[in-house]
Amino acid sequence: MNMPLPRKIFSILAVAGLLLQATVPVIAQQSGQAGINEPRIQVSSELVLVNVVAHDKKGNLVRDLKKGDFTLLEDGKKQEIATFDFENVDELATAGPAEAAVSGVAGGTLLSARKQAEPSLDARDRRLILLFFDFSAMDSEQIDLSVDAAKKFVDTKMQPADLMALVSLATNMRVDLDFTDDKSKLLATLTAFNSGQGQGFENGSTGGAEGAAETSGAFSADDTDFNTFNADRKLLALQSLMQALGKLPQKKSLIYFSNGISQSGADNQSALRATTAAAVRANVSIYSLDIRGLQAFPPGGEAQSASLHGQSAYSGQSVLNDLSGNAASQETLATLSSDTGGKAFFDSNDFSGVFSQVQKDSSAYYVLGFTSNNPLKDGRFRRLKVQVHRTDLKLDFRAGYYAGRDFEHLNRADREQQLVDELDTQLPRVDVPLYAGAAYFRQDDAHYYLAVALVIPGSQIPFVTEKEKDNATIDIIGEALEGGKLRVGQLRDTVKLAVESTQQVRRKNVQYNTGFVLAPGSYHLKFIVRENQSGRMGSFETDVQIPDLRKTPLKMSSVVLSSLRAPAANKKNGANPLVRDQLELVPNITHVFAPDQHLYLQYEVYDAAKGKNPALLGANVQNRTAKPAKDSIRVFTSIEFLQGATKIYESKPVVANEVTAPDRKAVIFQMDLPLEALKPGLYLCQVNVIDDVAGSFTFPRLPLLIREWAPRKPADYRPDGNVPRQRGDSK
């Protein structure tokens, strides 16, 4: 059984839990990932599209305007029109019987296409209409009204130029039908909707009993947090659709069937702005339809509702509350429509108006594209104004758009969402180099501790010097996926760095240590780091295999190489096998060392066999008063350095006769080897482990590079003239 419980052990190379080490050559990013994730090249498009519909004094569409006839202003400043296009949808509708208008042949993939795939939909001079059914909080009657209105339009009012798609949101969002002009497919899909899809996501109470329906309960639950989540869920569903719709430059009309969205916090405001901004970028106009229609609010509530608490039913307050709540839920729908160039339809039981309006607004229109001469990315609303040289024309266009926001102008919620989105994306960020290494240690037969080390070059972190210290903040998010699909471990942390300027942190590496408790199996690890000065991010992902040691003759952990033992930053490190006696062994994931450093190795042997120990038997023969020798373990280990077929160095054998960690049945080996006697060069470090009682053995090998010795600069020395160095105990 996998345990999705990450155990976070933090250490930083100096203060604040990170570790600073001398800069050394490091392994390539995304090692072992060739062909899986290619580095992403970001191309930022700042083109803003504006749809313009022109009418003369009689209300007729004007189709003969040219690019030079238009003047476009943003916040009162003239903008250069970079692209110009005219979409004449009516041409297909009036082409006559020779055109196979509703044959079921037209259509293609847009919503169902993969993220990086180009859409196969030909939308030139076609009207793109997407019906989005928000069933998540509708009752059965409202669902039936929505579906019947859509079926009536498809059956009687759908034109040959119309391409329609169907998307629904219930327990999850689903693309029910991609864009098509096949009436039979559309009607069949609409008929398949059932009235039971909308249960489970109705808004709850806010904790007050006054004016609430009597439930005979002892208290009224406060569902404010659920309501906030519910509103975000609806808005994020809309936002995710825009990513697919934005692949085509033509205008798209989204008819949103809803029974209202009630905002209940700043998070909802952020999600609303993100949704409208995404719709504007994708050239999507949202037409909101309140499926509740014209409502009556009786003072005592509806007939099927229980009587109300308190006096509000008699003072008129309950009616006022109902009206206020209804208006608030419609306000969000109105904002979605007005900010995207669409229209909202409220308080009417005739739902045909929204379809007629969509067809009218997208029959013939001009598409103006421009790049703003305002370079600021502050997220502010920018007002648009389109003018023509003819005074007898009336123009319809959206009022404006929200500018993009750079990292400096992102609020806390948006910054957090940026990390989550980057974790989910298929293309890695490489703005900040990131390297990682992992090692496993057994806790019991079913659980292993996977120690993970992340390394960031200090030169890639923009430190700010303040009060003789270099300060920086790093955000880290990561996950472990079993089989690359099921999330079984995750981490999220913000690390604040404050180190002495004399440590020359920009010439060192910053290392972050963490870990997960997992079962044996195959896992995909992915980590995202972001420095919070400019918002640059980096990612690293790799596959890790945790073996089931029950199937191996000699059960052994990973071998961890290190050049540093540091005081443990967290005293509660019981799960981390790299922490012993309040000292943490800091993994060296590059396996690159300096000649004046010590090589520390740690590895464990599990379930060592027990038997008669010849050495102890001999001691008992000499000492006849001693107790008879009991069965004990006998595990040998030594370290060799090889270059080709030549053995350059071998350490003295170490013999273990006792289990070091009885709770894990582990024999822990911690080796300390000075490297000063070895010449710089590339070696193969071989770890010899022999279970003498069982007659089993293993000889894992790891590459190791001892670089050329470089004289230390004066800044590397302490005031007493000594070089800082930490030594560990050999065991």
| Average pLDDT for 585-609 | 94
Region(s) of the chain under CATH 3.40.50.410: 102-202+224-302+318-362
pLDDT at 716 over 50: no
Q: Would you state the pLDDT for residue 581?
A: 84
Token reading at 689: 């482990």
Write 552-556 long-range contacts (CB < 8 A, 24+). Answer: 553/694, 553/696, 554/605, 554/689, 554/691, 554/694, 554/696, 554/697, 554/698, 555/442, 555/605, 555/606, 555/607, 556/603, 556/604, 556/605, 556/606, 556/689, 556/698, 556/700
Structure tokens at 512: 């972050």
Q: What is the pLDDT of residues 179-211, one digit of tens each?
A: 898 999 999 999 998 776 555 445 544 444 444
| Predicted pLDDT of residue 300 | 58
Rounded average pLDDT over 333-342: 90
Q: What is the pLDDT of residues 522-551, one digit of tens each?
A: 999 999 999 988 899 999 999 999 999 998
Instruction: Read off the DSSP letter of residue 405.
Output: B
483 neighbors 520 (Cβ within 8 angstroms): no
According to the model, what pLDDT value does residue 218 have? 46
pLDDT-based confidence at residue 249 (cuts at 50, 70, 90):
confident
* Res. 321: pLDDT tops 90: no
Q: What pLDDT score does 120 carry?
A: 61
**pLDDT score for 10:** 35
Mean pLDDT of the chain: 79
Q: Is the dihedral of CA 703, 708, 709, 710 positive or negative?
A: negative
**Predicted local distance difference test score (pLDDT) of residue 387:** 94
**Cα 335 from chain centre:** 27
Looking at residue 315, its pLDDT comes to 64
**645-687 pLDDT, tens digit each:** 899 999 999 999 999 999 999 999 999 999 998 999 999 999 9
Q: Is the pLDDT of residue 442 over 60?
A: yes
pLDDT band per the 50, 70, 90 thresholds, residue 24: very low
Determine the pLDDT at residue 561. Answer: 96
Which residue from 259, 256, 238, 286 is spatially nearest to 132, judged by alpha carbons?
Answer: 256
Confidence check: pLDDT of 398 > 60: yes
What's residue 626's pLDDT?
A: 44
Average pLDDT on 445-455 reads 94
Q: Which residue has the tokens 């007005």?
A: 338
- CATH fold label, 102-202+224-302+318-362: Rossmann fold (3.40.50)
Q: Please tell me whether the overall predicted TM-score, pTM, comes out greater than 0.75 for this model.
A: no
Span of 16-25, 101-110, 166-175, 212-221 with lowest mean pLDDT? 16-25
For residue 599, with 0-12 CB atoms within 10 Å meaning exposed, 13-18 middle and 19 or more buried, which class applies? buried
Beta strands 162-169 and 127-134: pairing type? parallel
In this prediction, residue 14 carries a pLDDT of: 31
Mean pLDDT, residues 327-338: 88
Averaged pLDDT for residues 127-132: 92
What is each CA distance from 185 to 97, 100, 179, 245, 260, in whole angstroms? 22, 16, 11, 21, 29
For the cut 70, the answer to whether the pLDDT of residue 623 exceeds it is no
Q: Between 628 and 642, where is the model more confident? A: 642
Q: What CA–CA distance (Å, rounded) separates 608 from 724?
A: 38
The two beta strands, 464-466 and 521-531, are unpaired
DSSP secondary structure code for residue 568 in this structure: -
Output the pLDDT for position 37. Answer: 43
